[in-house]
Chains A and B, each alone.
Chain A
Amino acid sequence: MRAVLFLSLLLTSLCALSLLSGPATPWSDVAQVLMGSVAAEDFWVQNAAVFELRLVHVLLAVAVGFALASGGRAMQLYLQNPLADPHVTGLSAGSTSAVLVSFLFFPEFANSYLFDVVPSVWIPAFLGAVLSLVVLQFLYRTTLRRWGVASLALVGLLVNAVCAAALMVIFARLSPAALSQVQAWTLGAIQGHSLTATALLVPLMVGAGVQLIRLDASLKLLSFGAEFASAERVDVVRVRRILLLSLMFLSASTVCAAGSVGFVGLLVPHFTRRFFGADALAGARPWLNAIAGAVLVVVADFASRTLTSPLELPVGVYTALLASPFLLLVMVRSGVAK
Chain B
Amino acid sequence: MRSSLCADTLVSLGSFSLWGGSQWVLRNVSLSVRRGSFCVVLGGNGAGKSSLLKAMAGVLQPPWEKFGLLQIHSNAHEEARVSLSWLPQSLGFSEDLTVREFLALQPVVQQLRSQPGEDVPAAADEFGVIPLLDRRLSALSGGQWQRVRLARALGREATLLLLDEPDTALDAAWRKVLWAALAQRMSRGATVVVALHRITEVGDLVDCWCGMEHGRMVFVEDRRETFPEALVERLFLEKGLTR
Contact = CB atoms under 8 A, between A and B. Distances in A.
Interface residues of A, number: 36
Chain A contact surface mostly: helix
Interface in A1-49: 1, 4
B interface, how many residues as a size bin? 35 or more
Given A217-B106, A223-B95, A282-B101, A144 B62 contact: yes
B88 A227 contact: yes
Nearest to B54: A227
Interface in B91-147: 91-98, 100-101, 104-116, 134, 136
Interface in B146-200: none
Contact of A77 (B61, B95, B101): B95
Interface in B58-84: 58-63, 84
Contact of B91 (A77, A225, A283): A225
Contacts of B61: 226-227, 230, 236
B111 A283 contact: yes
A282 B101 CA distance: 6
A183 B47 CA distance: 60
Interface string A201-229: 00000000000001011101101111111
Contacts of B112: 1, 4, 283-284, 287
Contacts of B107: 217-218, 221, 229, 232-234
B92 A279 contact: no
A228 to B, nearest CB: 6
Contacts of A77: 94-95
A281 to B, nearest CB: 8
Question: Is chain B's interface secondary structure helix, strand, loop, or mixed overall?
Answer: loop
Contact of B110 (A4, A80, A216, A234): A216
A6 to B, nearest CB: 14
Of the candidates B94, B96, B134, B136, the one having the most CB atoms from chain A within 10 angstroms of its own CB is B94
A80 B100 contact: no
A231 interface: yes
B133 to A, nearest CB: 9
B57 interface: yes
A48 B134 CA distance: 52
A81 B94 CA distance: 8
A217 B105 contact: yes
B62 A220 contact: no
A284 B110 CA distance: 8
Query: Which of B59, B60, B107 has the most chain A CB atoms closer than 10 A to its own CB?
Result: B107
The listed residue with most A CB atoms (<10 A of its CB), out of B57, B61, B134, is: B61
Contacts of A177: none
A273 interface: yes
A190 to B, nearest CB: 30
21 contacts: A80-B95, A81-B94, A82-B94, A144-B62, A145-B62, A217-B105, A217-B106, A217-B107, A224-B91, A224-B93, A226-B61, A230-B61, A231-B58, A232-B105, A278-B97, A278-B98, A278-B136, A282-B101, A282-B104, A284-B113, A287-B112
